[in-house]
Amino acid sequence: MEPYVAVAIQNEVAPCTKRSEIKTNLDRCLTLIDRCAMFFERQLGEPVRLVAFPEYHLQDWRGVTAPWWDAPVDPLEVCITIPGEETDRIAEKARQKGIYIVAQALEVTKDFPGYFFNCGFIIDPNGDLIYKRHKTEHAGFLMYASPHDVLDRYVELYSKGRSVGETIFPVVETPIGNLGMCMCYEMIVPELHRQLVSNGAEVIIRPTAEMDLFQHEPRKVSQVLDRARAIENVAYYVVPHLGPSKYAWASHEWSGASTIIGYDGTVLAEAHTTGETLVAAVIDVERLRRVRGKGSNYLAKSVPVQGVRGLPLYRPEVYDYWGKGCYPPNLWKERPQTRQEKWDLIQGLGEAR
């Protein structure tokens, strides 16, 4: 496998109140591929094979007229189906450029009427949808469903004989490496990344949209966590962050600083702005495989995905915290909770500790 270029696009996004408004953002995203993304092939000397977009790059619905915790917009009005007309256009671009396109959208599915999910997906150079994953971990004020909220039904529908960890955290084998996805807030859950790597992931793409809560250095804290995840799992991380988004209630930009991180935690590329931009770096999966294969801290037993060795030495017999979970599954089994119900539950769980 030859090295290749991965590109993280940090696009400007227009807030949406209905699905028809997504077209403006989709047009801009595809234009950025045409105008900018392929430039890196000449600059870095390797072919561009993967282009990744940030969280909410199509439909930044939160806080159009008020902050998202008070926003009157019905998110179901801006959701798409995957596949659907929007992904058809992305697929056309993937075929045209011969690239993998990694994207994210709020999705509705016939399997869960009345629910919506935060979905990461990948389209290959043939225009085929080869990967979908629904975000599992998110902040309490966000109201899309987690697979954990409907766990029994979700596994029943989608497991196809796989374990729960393989179902919720899929990895796809491709000619550019084994790809997996996580989204935004999921950076803070080490087990999630360990599961992806255990399932074979070599390149992990994390679309994100984070507010600049730390004004002096945008995304400083989350970048530290991304680098830690790369180091502890020996995996590449491609982290496209959402660019500017203007709301009626405030002048607001996401914190920017999209990054691409090497398997040793080195920052290979970084956007030093909150504005619209692109960053790119060379991904060398064969080198990663050699490092995993020779590392003395790696298990001798290989994960059955292209012979890639597994996690760093791990002693699960001495850990039992994972069995003491505080947030119960299947809470949305009958219907989605209201935001107030969710807040009340979280507050009650905190008081019970």
Q: What is the model's pLDDT at position 60?
A: 78
17 neighbors 25 (Cβ within 8 angstroms)? no
User: Partners of 253 in the beta sheet?
Assistant: 244
Average pLDDT over residues 30-50: 93
Of the pLDDT bands very low, low, confident and very high (cuts 50, 70, 90), residue 346 is: confident
103 neighbors 90 (Cβ within 8 angstroms)? yes
Average pLDDT over residues 316-324: 81
Of the pLDDT bands very low, low, confident and very high (cuts 50, 70, 90), residue 63 is: low
The string of pLDDT tens digits covering residues 161-192 is 999 999 999 999 999 999 999 999 899 999 99
137 neighbors 185 (Cβ within 8 angstroms)? yes
Domain that holds residue 26: 4-352
How far apart, in whole angstroms, are the C-alpha atoms of residue 241 and residue 226? 13
Tokens for 279, please give them. 């960053």
Residue 270 has pLDDT above 90, yes or no: yes
- The strand ranges marked E within the chain are 4-10, 48-52, 100-107, 117-123, 129-134, 172-174, 177-181, 203-205, 236-239, 259-261, 267-270, 277-283
Lowest mean pLDDT among 66-75, 245-254, 339-348: 245-254
Q: What percent of the chain has pLDDT over 90?
A: 61
Residue 343 has pLDDT above 60, yes or no: yes
Residue 201 or 338, more confident: 201
Tokens for 67, please give them. 């902050």
Number of domains in the chain: 1
pTM exceeds 0.95 for this model: no
Average pLDDT over residues 140-145: 80
Residue 296 has pLDDT above 50, yes or no: no
How far apart, in whole angstroms, are the C-alpha atoms of residue 259 and residue 171? 21
Of the pLDDT bands very low, low, confident and very high (cuts 50, 70, 90), residue 298 is: very low
Of these ranges, 120-134, 142-156, 295-309, the one predicted with the greatest mean pLDDT is 120-134
Residue 54's identity, in one-letter code, is P
Mean pLDDT estimate for the chain: 86
Residue 306 has pLDDT above 90, yes or no: no
Residue 250 has pLDDT above 50, yes or no: no
Average pLDDT over residues 112-133: 97
Instruction: Assign residue 222 the CATH number of its domain.
Output: 3.60.110.10
How far apart, in whole angstroms, are the C-alpha atoms of residue 285 and residue 264? 13
Average pLDDT over residues 133-162: 91
Query: How far is CA 12 from each of CA 55, 118, 184, 243, rounded to the nearest angstrom?
Result: 12, 20, 17, 5
